[in-house]
Structure 1
Amino acid sequence: MHSRTLADLNQVVALGGGHGLGRVMSTLSFLGPRLTGIVTTTDNGGSSGRIRKSEGGIAWGDTRNCLNQLITEPSITSAMFEYRFGGKGELSGHNLGNLMLKALDNLSVRPLEAINLIRSLLKVNASLIPMSEQPVDLKAIATSGDTVYGEVAIDQLNELPLRLTLTAPVTATHEALLAIADADLIIIGPGSFLTSLMPLLLLEDLTKALRQRRAPMFYLDNLGREFNVAAANMTLAQKVQMMEKAISLEKVIDGVIISPTTATTHLSDRIIIQCPLATVDELHYHDRALLHQALNLALQSLK
């Protein structure tokens, strides 16, 4: 068992939001169809937010970001998909990729079909599954007692919210639950803790799948300080505790993969993989080769 490497696994599942999940998936893209990403769909900012406001539906930005990072064969299609409109007109700031996903969503029976059509156009082998195919937003009860709606507003909070919920009790995408059940390894993170990672753990059927899973689960922490003040001030142990409270199962997270500077107080009962992980030029980005090594170390640390 402990001599296994990533290459031996039949199914790896990564959970998260745009940049962080995209980084993990591009690191593991050699797994091809054995890799599945489950993507947060609660973004209400930027191009995604504008499309949701005018057209409804789920947020596409995080999925688009992951697809961008998984493109290995540049083409006209990939250049179009990555294109962002400039200028000051109505399209200014919009990503063509978001508009393409929204258009395909309108033409498809379900959002997952839209993603699969884009994946085949971009020659992306890994699966990407939206956490839910039903539109939903993030909502928080602030320490003041006020209700705060949407990721953008929640990211402005200076203190941890008293409660974090979704605006409606939506269901997780069926394929996401199947992927978790079949997984040999589950990774959550890195990403904005309150607005990219926690929304996934607010889906009841998804947390039930995590409680029943057979695969080890590792939390991959951020390397840089978060923009959100409340999340930036959380300790590693507090993050693990908050995730496990949401999943309703103690010690559901088998281990953490962290940078050499992260404090590990109150986490003595977990596998701790602590090693250099940052790229040379962007210290808040995980280096793909170093992350690959760290994940192999994590697998080898399992009893």
Structure 2
Amino acid sequence: MQLKKLNIVAIGGGHGLGRVLSTLSFMQDQLTGIVTTTDNGGSTGRLRKRSSSIAWGDLRNCLTELVDDSSVGSQLFNYRFDGEDELGGHNLGNLILYGLGQIQSRPLESIKLVRRILRVKTPVLPMSESPTDLMAFYPEGRCRVGELSVDDMPIMPKNLMLAPLVKTPDQCVTAIDNADLIILGPGSFLTSVVPPLLVRDIAKALKRRKGHCVFVENIVKENSPAATLTLDEKLAWIEENIGCLPVDSVISHHRDVTSEKVRVIYHNMSCDDVAHHHDKAKLVEALHQCIADVPPINETNSPLKIANAD
């Protein structure tokens, strides 16, 4: 089975999802990105404080990863103002998306317009069109609110939830329902990978999925409490927090990563230029390896659904 014959959904946030979308950009409209929208730091956080809105930064990054780096559109949307004034630190793409969000009736319309400007054929969707924040609970009950606070926690939170609870666009559910392959990660476990899974509509769609779901591990340990967890501890934490385990296999760069829950595929994915980046060609090879031995299941009409463990 070849990737180019599949419908693929990639879910996550930050630079990890952007890397996956850039890697698979040849899929065009057979690829869909579902993007985390809970960021409350940097330019995005300042815009969210000014007026209640979704976090635009990860959406902007994913859109620009789908166009040529040297294009005017990419340079425009990635331009960051320097200085100490009100514009200092702001990303122009974030400001454009934020402005469109104030004008358009819904964020999806703003994203659609930017896709036309950048000539991006791949659908890029927010996990929700409504603003929401992460709320993490310590084992003894205290809580922290906001992405920045969650990543700074000294220990792993017992629970993570969205406040307020939000719905996902219908397009996200449809994309997952029609997907042959679903990719989670790489990226920060608590603040990039998990937030979309906390949206109930997305969790339900993943639970009934017909496609094969693969979790792509990070190459280097992240700077968050999740860095202390084994793979199976991460999977158990997801299952406890969303009520299901939406992972069929895992791609890992490290051979010391093992699992009693899912199949683990080992593949060297490090990039020569940036050690913590997944090399694009190697990531495609790993995905091909992931789906190569998956037998078709006639009752679901999916080429990629397999048992949870080898």
Which interval holds the TM-score relative to the shorter structure?
Answer: over 0.9
1:274 maps to 266
Distance of 1:106 and 1:300 partners within structure 2? 46
Please give the secondary structure, in 2, of the residue aligned with 1:186: strand
Q: Following TM superposition, by how much is the alpha carbon of 1:258 offset from its aligned partner in structure 2, in angstroms? A: 0.5
Quote the Cα distance in structure 1 between the aligned partners of 2:193 and 2:256: 19
Q: Does 1:248 align with 2:243?
A: yes
Write the distance in 1 (CA, Å) between the matches of 2:69 and 2:257. 40
Which residue of 2 is the match for residue 112 of structure 1? 108
| In structure 2, C-alpha distance between the alignment counterparts of 1:162 and 1:239, rounded to whole Å | 12
Residue 18 of structure 1 aligns to which amino acid in structure 2? Answer: G
Structure-1 separation of matches of 2:88 and 2:140? 36
Aligned twin of 1:121: 117
Of all paired residues, the percent bearing the same amino acid is: 45
Matched, 1:16 2:12: yes
Matched letter for residue 151 of structure 2: D
- Which fold has the larger relative contact order, with Cα–Cα distance below 8 Å and residues 6 or more apart in sequence? 1
- 1:27-62 CA distance string (max 9 Å, x none): 100000110000000000000000000021100011
Task: Tell me the distance in 2 between the aligned counterparts of 1:248 and 1:163.
Answer: 12
Q: Secondary structure of the residue that 1:187 maps to in structure 2? A: strand
Q: Give yes or no for the alignment of 1:292 onto 2:281.
A: no
Contact 1:208 1:247 in 2 (8 A): no
| Aligned match for 1:263, one of 257, 260, 263 | 257
Distance 1:15 1:81, change over 3 A: same
**Contact kept? 1:271, 1:301, Cα under 8 Å:** no
Q: Which residue of 2 aligns with 1:233?
A: 228
In the TM superposition, structure 1's runs of 4+ consecutive aligned residues that sit over 4 Å from their partners are none
In structure 2, give the amino acid aligned to 1:203.
Answer: V
- Measure how far apart 1:73 and its partner are: 6.7
Q: Secondary structure in 1 aligned to 2:22?
A: helix
User: Take 2:287 and 2:72, find their aligned partners in 1: how far apart are those partners?
Assistant: 34
TM normalised by structure 2 equals 0.92
- Which has the larger displacement, 71-80 or 179-188? 71-80
Match of 1:176 in 2: 172
8 A contact 2:231–2:257 mirrored in 1: yes
Look up the equivalent residue of 1:66 and give its one-letter code: C
What amino acid sits opposite 2:49 in the alignment?
Answer: K
Give unpaired runs (5+ residues) of structure 2: 296-310
1:74-93 equivalence runs, <5 A = 74-93=70-89
Unaligned runs of 5+ in 1: none
TM-superposed deviation, 1:68: 2.0
Give CA deviations for 1:89-130 in whole Å, capped at 9, x if unaligned. 111000000000011111211101111111111111111000
CA distance in 1, matches of 2:69, 2:45: 29
SS in 1 for 2:54: coil
Mapping for residues 63-82 of structure 1, pairs under 5 Å: 63-72=59-68, 74-82=70-78
Which of 20, 26, 50 matches 2:22? 26
2:157 is aligned with 1:161: yes
Residue equivalent to 2:308: none
Correspondence for 1:198 among 186, 194, 199: 194
Aligned pairs for 1:131-170 (under 5 A) are 131-170=127-166
Structure 1 residue 262, shift from structure 2 partner: 4.2
Contact kept, 8 Å, 1:187 with 1:218, in 2: the verdict is yes
| Separation in structure 2 between the aligned mates of residue 222 and residue 51 of structure 1, nearest angstrom | 29
Closer, same or farther in 2 for the Cα pair 1:262/1:20, shift >3 Å?
farther
